[in-house]
Amino acid sequence: MKKKILRSIRDHENLMSFLSVIYRAFMLNSVKKHKGLKILGGGYFAKRTHVKNLGKDNTVEIEQGCRISNCNIQLFGNGNTVKIDHDCMLKDLDIWISDGGSVHSGHNTYISGKTHIACIEGKKVLIGARCLFSNDITFRTGDSHSVLNLGGERINLAEDITIGNHVWIGQQVVILKGAFVGDDSIIGTRALVTGKKFNGNVVIGGAPARVIKTDVTWNHELK
């Protein structure tokens, strides 16, 4: 019953916008941002969240019903975008994004502890809907330094990262450039997910990560 009531409240756009205004009026709903940054959206709830803008034409969009606390977003360069779809819950999330990059989280995704996303060199980090993150999780689309062959050519170019819908990510997982994890999958504790494609409905784990089980799914509730 309680979940149904909360769900009906979150689905009511005007009510969520009103509650957000009340929340802000009591100095609770605060996203501290630098001048010149566009923050779009409304009806979200945020506290102790900071956005640092070091460029132009950068945009952060937070949709209705999101609950955000202790988060930091830093945008370097121009044309970066961060979008958080409706009803996400984000705690202790740190985003670094540069050079026209994009970070997008689908709706109803829960980040329950310390997570760092470094989206550099204009790449994308795409996180699906209804995902569940544990804590101490790292995403990196690039290496931040150059690796060259003996002819002076750089060989460690950045790549996008894609996480499908309804993916559960365990503690201390590291997800590196080029990784693709399909829908309804599970990433085990301390896995190192490198630039490889994993189909949906699998459990992956290890360093580097490999498929441990196939034909599985998972549920938020312990049955």
User: Which residues are marked as active site?
Assistant: 145
Place of tokens 């609770």: 28
Residue among 168, 26, 54 nearest 45 (CA)? 26
Check if the beta carbon of residue 203 is closer than 8 Å to that of residue 218: no
Phi then psi for residue 19, to 5 deg, are -60, -35
Report the 3 state secondary structure along 141-189.
Answer: CCCCCCCECCCCCECCCCCCEEECCCCEECCCCEEECCCEECCCCEECC
CB 53 within 8 Å of CB 34 = yes
Q: Give SS3 for 218.
A: coil
The token duo for 130 is 């209804």
> Residues 82, 41: contact at Cβ < 8 Å?
no
